[in-house]
Amino acid sequence: MASDEVVVAPQSAPASEIPQLPNHKVKVKKLGQRACNEKDAKGKFCGGHLKRWFYVDDVVEQECGCVEKAWGTGAEVYRCEFCKTLYLPNPEEPRGVNVGGVGQLSIFGITIQPKEEKKA
C-alpha cells in the first residue's frame, strides 16, 4: 500500500468492519455529512463540526503516531471538534472538496462582467 492511500470500508459495511485504531474511534462519513453523529453514554448526539485534520502537524498525535502508521502521511481524514472521533471520506463523494461540499449554483443567474482595464 502506498503512503498516500486510504483504506476505506464501504458505507454499507457494518461498523465492526471499519479498520479501528488503538487510540481513536474511526467512522466513515455519510454523503454530505458535516457534523459528528457519535452518541455519548446517554444517547445524545455530539453534533461537533467535522474538520479536515492534518495529523502530521498535530503535536499530540505525533506522540501517539498510530494514524500515520496506519494510513501514511497524506491521508484525507476528518475529525470532530468536540469528541475527536475520526471520519474517513465517503468513497462516493468527490475528492478534494471541502467539508462544506460543492455548494449550490446561483438561482438568480446574475453574471458580473469583468472590468475593463484603463489605458494610461
Residue 87, beta-bridge partner list: 27, 78
> Do the Cβ atoms of 85 and 27 come closer than 8 Å?
yes
Q: Which pLDDT tens digit goes with each residue over 22-80?
A: 889 999 999 888 899 999 889 999 999 999 999 999 888 888 889 999 999 988 899 99
Contacts of 51 (CB under 8 A, 6+ apart): 78, 79, 81, 99
Parallel, antiparallel, or unpaired: how do β-strands 86-88 and 78-80 relate? antiparallel
**Spans of all domains in the chain:** 21-88
Question: What integer is the mean pLDDT of 8-24?
Answer: 64
Give residue 96's pLDDT: 64
User: Does the predicted model carry a pTM greater than 0.85?
Assistant: no
Residue 56, beta-bridge partner list: none
Name the pLDDT band for 3 (thresholds 50, 70, 90).
Answer: very low
Decide if pLDDT at 95 tops 60. yes
b/e burial code for range 90-113 (CB count within 10 A of at least 16 → b): beeeeeeeeeeeeeeeeeeeeeee
